[in-house]
Amino acid sequence: MMVDVITERNFRLSSRHKNVLSQEFAPAGDLLYMGLKGDDVICCDLRLPSHHIVSSFAQANVGWLRLLKSDPNFLLAENFLGQVKMWDVRNRKALMSFSGHKNSHYRLSCLVDESEKLLFAVGDDGTTRGWSLKTAELLCEVPSPRPVQERADFPRVCFSDNWAGISGNAAVVLAVEDELRVHKLCM
Question: Which CATH number fits the domain that encloses residue 149?
Answer: 2.40.10
pTM, two decimals, is 0.88
Is the pLDDT confidence value at 3 over 80?
Answer: no
Domain that holds residue 14: 1-97
pLDDT tens digits, one per residue of 140-183: 999 988 888 777 788 899 999 988 888 888 999 999 888 888 88
CATH number at residue 53: 2.40.10.480
Q: Are residues 123 and 62 in the same domain?
A: no
| Average pLDDT of every residue of the chain | 91
Amino acid letter, residue 134: K
Q: Are residues 56 and 134 in the same domain?
A: no
Q: Give me the percent of the chain exceeding a pLDDT of 90.
A: 61
CA distance 27 to 168: 29
Task: Kindly report each contact of residues 26-29 with a partner whose C-beta sits within 8 Å and lies 24 or more positions away, as own/partner.
Answer: 26/67, 26/72, 27/67, 27/69, 27/72
Mean pLDDT of 107-127: 93
CA distance 119 to 125: 18
Is residue 102 domain-resident?
A: no
Greatest mean pLDDT among 49-53, 92-96, 175-179: 92-96
Q: Are residues 142 and 53 in the same domain?
A: no
Torsion sign over Cα 86, 62, 60, 103: positive
